[in-house]
Amino acid sequence: MNDLLPLLKDLISEPGLSGYESPVRKLIENAWRPLTDEIHVSRLGSLHALRKGRAPEPRPSLLLTGHMDAIGLMVTSLVDGFIRLVEVGGVDPRVLPGQLVTVHGRKDIPGVIVQPPSYLLPSEVRGVAVPLKYLLVDVGLEPAQVERLVRVGDLVSFAQTPIELGEDYLVGHTLDDRAAVGVITQCLVELQGRSLNWDLWVAATSQEEETFGGAFTSAYQLRPTLAVAIDVTFASGPGSPSHLTFPLGKGFTLGWGPNIHPKFHKAMKDLADRLEIPHKLEPMPELSGTDAYAMQVVAEGVPTMMVGIPLRYMHTPVEMVCLKDITRSGRFLADFAAQLDDKFMEKLSVYPEVVSHED
């Protein structure tokens, strides 16, 4: 069995919607505390932990982030014991009818999202995919019980339990981006007993799916010399165009585009090539849609990279990853952190000279 599997299954069994990450943060804190020298929670709810380096002060630092917040839903109104919803993060309403959820009211209540029969809906939404505002949650309770337990603004999270598909594949909700928390944990495990020159900060960021609030403020507070956002990327699979996707189990991706420092990219690619770790270039022509987008423009600016874990069915409750991609990325990032020395920044200092990823 993959050593990370129990942690990953725990991580995707907890809610922790954007802005309300505490249920999952506690789990991550427990996993990281024994692997790091220092740990604290930011004002916006991100979790920061430090592995101290040995280089003389002021020591440069590398920051690895994975966002811990989850997409989901929020209660907008109650009607006859049924619950109406709005989305938190990007949700395709077409995956929702029949979806099992947990309503986080005065207590956690299991529910199911239902699509009312079409004759109860306005004529313009008959025969088409029904938008979210017309869908309801049924918790199986009497209307008076629902009124007592549930209020407008309560969170509703996906209740899909983790599914193992053989040894190497895991399915569940919020593997975007708890998979990255797995990557960072693997990296910290690999670094046990190894000394670092640079400080290594790791962060489980909050609010990525809504405002990138965690990444902006964590990068400001920690002021890393270099920052790497670890996030999931589109895996090839049914319905997804092949030119925009990466195969499951065939390695991580290294981001390339305006959010990425080209020489930082090259340094990572060179190391991956030297270590013969499978990886692919991920073109991100404009904005990366990850914490790298935010961290790059914090304070005076930060050289930023993005490492992608291929994931199928993103933003559905049945996201699928290959565990090998997660452990390999963790090992690679550990090797990357361990080889950082006092000369490393010289490799990046010539920016902005023209650099191509094929150099």
Partner 1 sequence: MKIETIANMSKNRIPSIGNAQIRLLESLCNASAVSGEEEKVRSIVLEQIRPLVDEIKVDALGNVLAKRFGQEKKRLRVMVTAHMDEVGMMIVADDEEGLFRFETVGGLEVSQLVGKAVWVGKNRVPGVIGAKPIHLVEQDELSQLIKLEALRIDVGPENGKKVKVGDRATFATPFIRLGPSLRAKALDDRVGVATLIELIRQPQPHLDLLAAFTVQEEVGLRGARVAAYTLDPDLAFVIDCTPARDLPDWESGGYHVEKEEIENTQYNTRLGAGPAIYIADHATLSDPRLIRHLVETAEALKIPYQIRQPGGGGTDAGAIHRQRVGVPTVSISVPGRYLHTTASIIRLEDWKNTLALIHAALSLLSPRLLRTER
Instruction: Give the interface with partner 1 as residue ranges (CB under 8 A).
Output: 76-77, 79-80, 82, 84, 90-100, 109-110, 112, 114-117, 119-122, 127-131, 133-134, 136, 138-142, 145, 160, 163-169, 171, 234, 237-241, 244, 248-249, 289, 312-318, 320
Sort 210 into a burial class: Cβ within 10 Å, 0-12 / 13-18 / 19+. middle
State which residue, 163 or 275, has the beta carbon closest to partner 1.
163
Question: Hey, what amino acid is at 315?
Answer: H
Shorter beta-carbon distance to partner 1: residue 6 or 110: 110
Integer Cα distance of 309 and 179 in angstroms: 8
Residue 98 Cβ, how far from partner 1 at the closest point, in Å? Answer: 4
Q: Between residues 170 and 334, which has the closer beta carbon with respect to partner 1?
A: 170
Residues 6+ apart with CB under 8 A from 5: 164, 170, 323
Under DSSP, is residue 203 helix (H, G, I), strand (E, B) or coil?
A: strand
Minimum distance from residue 18 beta carbon to partner 1 (Å): 15
* Token pair in block for residue 39: 């740990």
Pairing of strands 61-67, 199-205: parallel
Chain centroid to CA 142: 37
Tally of CB atoms within 10 A around 140: 11
Least distance from C-beta 282 to partner 1, angstroms? Answer: 13
**Quick one: 196 or 314, whose CB is closer to partner 1?**
314
Which DSSP symbol is given to 44? Answer: T
Residue 146 exposed, middle or buried by CB count within 10 Å (0-12, 13-18, 19+): buried
Residue 103 near residue 83 (C-beta atoms within 8 A): yes
Both ends of the chain: CA-CA distance in Å? 39
Residue 310 preceded by cis peptide, ω within 30? no
Shortest approach of partner 1 to residue 292 CB, angstroms?
Answer: 16
**Spatial distance between the Cα atoms of 231 and 113, rounded to a whole number of angstroms:** 28
In angstroms, what is the minimal distance from the CB of 181 to partner 1?
20
Nearer to partner 1 (CB atom), residue 235 or residue 340: 235
Of 42 and 290, the one with the shorter C-beta distance to partner 1 is 290
Least Cβ distance, residue 146 to partner 1 (angstroms): 10
The nearer residue to partner 1, 139 or 333, going by C-beta atoms, is: 139
Q: Which one, of 354, 45, 346, lies nearest residue 225 by Cα? A: 346
Rounded to a whole number of angstroms, the minimum distance from the CB of residue 284 to partner 1 is 12
- Give min distance, CB of 12 to partner 1, in A: 13
CB closer to partner 1 out of 127 and 352: 127
| Least distance CB 307 / partner 1 (angstroms) | 18
Closer residue to partner 1 in complex, CB, 153/166: 166
Phi-psi region of 328 (alpha: psi -120 to 50; beta: other; left: phi over 0): alpha
Say if CB 234 and CB 70 are below 8 A apart.
no
Please, what is the Cα angle at 247 between 7 and 307, to 5 degrees? Answer: 60
